[in-house]
Amino acid sequence: MNTNTKQPGHEARNYPRSEIRAALVWLSVFALMSVLVEVSYLPLEIRGFPVPLAHLLAFGFTMVLTKTARLWSPALLIAATPLLAWLAGFFLFFYAVDVTSMIMQSEPARAWALLIAGLTGGGWPLAAKK
């Protein structure tokens, strides 16, 4: 089997730097918006039973955002930009913003589980071989 043949849809693409930069900015904005939504759903309970909706959202959103960033650049640090923005937002909301820090610090186990879910989802596409 010849491995040098190119499959349709797998050709190397060269994007202008400005286009890559704009895409990463938008992905980072979406990452910040997603962490805000996830923090707001952190204390969600139905009939006293905690619902891990925020954790599922964190896992899924960071995975999609990081995987999309990998499409724009094969460099891991550049592809990790949305995950780094999500992490910055997480710690900003945990320590600096009064309303969200009150939510997160009243539910520390859920907050740290949210961090693990976000890191796992965002790190998965970075660790996967292309």
pLDDT value of residue 10 = 46
Neighbour-count burial of 99, counting CB atoms closer than 10 A to its CB (0-12 exposed, 13-18 middle, 19+ buried):
exposed
Residues 45-101 have pLDDT tens digits of 999 999 999 999 999 999 999 999 999 988 999 999 999 999 999 999 999 888 888
Does the pLDDT value for residue 114 go beyond 80? yes
pLDDT value of residue 19 = 92
Mean pLDDT confidence for 30-39: 96
